[in-house]
Amino acid sequence: MIRILSYLIFFTLGMLLFRPILLEAVENIQLPEDLKARAFVIKSEKDGLWEKSLIIQFSERRRVLSTNDGFLDALAVVNHSAHPLLWERVCKKGKTKEVMKDIKKRIAKTIGVRSEEIALMATAVDMDNLAVKTKKFKPFVVSVLATAGAKTNALRTGVDEGTYIEGEEPKGTVNILILTNVRLTDGAMARAIITATEAKTAAFQDLKVPSSYTKDVLATGTGTDSVI
């Protein structure tokens, strides 16, 4: 299963960072039945600017590990995207945490769950550039849904400093959402995040994504990447 996950992250990010795949204006995203999850995108506007939420909803609570929310028993996981100007306004006001809580509440109300039952990550990358890839190796099924932006915030771990401070202009982000048909232990989920990170870095290296901060070095990711 680790090999499947590594392949999926590498291939999916390769599509995004090298040649983005544009989804048509559809709300439902087909997932394998074995995953027992429904995927769809909710589109809305705020102050005339777009917001799009990728929602994966489960029929029953599922143990989830999120780099934002930690471990939780979730009924839904979300990758929320909003126009860069919206994030810029939020950051300048220093209201990121409050806005994230509000996003959770709005989505929870829409799908009929509690906000505490949602794992959330966010990005300024347009959800129309979502990449979806599934790999099967019986009895395992793994799907990855990812968004990626690395034009302004690509950095190399161990070389570049994390200088972003809330209130500055929003930067690039790689968000990776991983689904599987098997129940993983907490330790296995933590191990999966390591594998996902290694695969993401491999994709950056093979695509020769340069650091936004240091000349002549390749990036290993961005400063705001998230995984669920």
The per-residue pLDDT for range 83-126, each reduced to its tens digit, is 988 888 887 777 788 889 999 999 999 999 999 999 999 998 99
pLDDT of 9: 62
Edge-to-edge strands, sheet with 28-29: 28-29, 37-46, 49-66, 70-82, 118-123
- The pTM of this model reads 0.87
The per-residue pLDDT for range 162-176, each reduced to its tens digit, is 666 655 555 678 999
Closest CA to 55 of 6, 122, 10: 122
Q: What is the mean pLDDT of the chain?
A: 87
pLDDT of 77: 98
Q: Where are the domains of the chain?
A: 2-227
The per-residue pLDDT for range 41-75, each reduced to its tens digit, is 999 888 889 999 999 999 999 999 999 999 999 99
pLDDT of 25: 40
Cα 134 from Cα 144, distance rounded (Å) = 6
